[in-house]
Structure 1
Amino acid sequence: MAETDPAAEEPPKKKSKLPLLIGLVLMLALGGGGFYAVYSGMILAPHAPEAQAHGDGHEAPGALGDVAFVALDPMVISLGSSGARHLRFNAQLEVPPAYQPDVELLRPRVMDVLNGYLRAVDITLLEDPSALMRLRAQMLRRVQIVVGEGRVRDLLIIEFVLN
């Protein structure tokens, strides 16, 4: 009779699932802890040094800087050679209060440069909604050249209607 090896007859041992279970528990615990840290503001929270916290958890807004606005007269600009299309444009200039009288004095020049620029812009560019930011930047740059550097902070477009 042949002898059988007892080690050959035993089924192979199954691998332990304990490391997988420990890894899963640690992953859930660390993920939950990370979520809580971000959600509660412990990490990645915006901090404003001038803002003070209220009792309800909201931060008080910072002080509003000195600002003045110079309203420009509404303009109606005929576009194209046919003259059938028009642009209604209205804007205001954000200026430091110290320069408000100077900018108001130069308002006719500002209106002239804006009128000339908008009349020269291609109609297809005016019809593109995403082009408004580029147009605004171009107009602001031209206004800053007319009134002088540092006198106008921003150009606020109040009305921009093509018909």
Structure 2
Amino acid sequence: MADESKTPANEAAPKKKGILPILIGLVLSIGLGAGGFFAAYSGMLNGLLGGSQNAAHAATDAHSTEIAEVAFVPIEPILISLPGGDTPRHLRFRAHIETIPAHQKAVADIMPRIMDVLNGYLRAVATEDLERPMALFRLRAQMLRRIRLVADQREIRDLLVTEFVLN
């Protein structure tokens, strides 16, 4: 029995497996979970599950309802003379205000205020700012903000610039 109590030196203690397999399993499970969420959220699984036709039909109905509830109020064309230089330069600007049909008359009634705000803003903008590549996006956002300050926030949906010409 004395032989049984002694263990050989190579079997002294079992080896620890380490933390690496746990980390690999954790990373893989998070990655697969995120991939599954993305596939479900983006609609990639609709084709496999047969829901693509119903989802497309519902999206078309929602889109057509949204389009049906839009009215546009035209803004009179604005012609602004730009300072500086030997040759006279002008800015021609024309836009429409997007609103819902229920607010169309209210927006048209305050058009003199809107024209005043736009004239004042466009005259204050430097000519160099108008010539920048992204100028129209910044100007559109600034003009929309000013129009919303003059009008009720709920009445104005968007500002659609239809003409922006520097001569």
Q: What band does the TM-score fall into relative to the shorter chain? A: 0.5 to 0.7
Match of 2:157 among 135, 153, 158: 153
1:67 matched residue in structure 2: 70
Gaps of 5+ in 2: 1-38
Find the aligned partners of 1:107 and 1:67 in 2 and give their Cα distance. 18
Find the aligned partners of 1:152 and 1:134 in 2 and give their Cα distance. 18
1:78 matched residue in structure 2: 81
Aligned counterparts, 1:6-155, within 5 A: 42-43=44-45, 51-52=56-57, 60=60, 62-65=63-66, 66-80=69-83, 84-155=88-159
Find the aligned partners of 1:145 and 1:76 in 2 and give their Cα distance. 23
Displaced runs of 4+ in structure 1, greater than 4 A?
41-45, 47-50
How many residue pairs align between the two structures?
A: 118
> TM-score if structure 1 supplies the norm length?
0.64
Deviation track 1:12-69 (CA, whole Å, cap 9, x = no partner) reads xxxxxxxxxxxxxxxxxxxxxxxxx9xxx84498x7976329xxxxx84632320100
Which structure has more helix as a fraction of its residues?
Answer: 2
Q: CA deviation at 1:129?
A: 2.2
Deviation track 1:99-128 (CA, whole Å, cap 9, x = no partner) reads 110000001110110010000001111011
Q: CA deviation at 1:154?
A: 0.2
Q: SS where residue 74 of structure 1 aligns?
A: strand
Q: SS where residue 57 of structure 2 aligns?
A: coil
Q: What percentage of aligned pairs have identical amino acids? A: 52
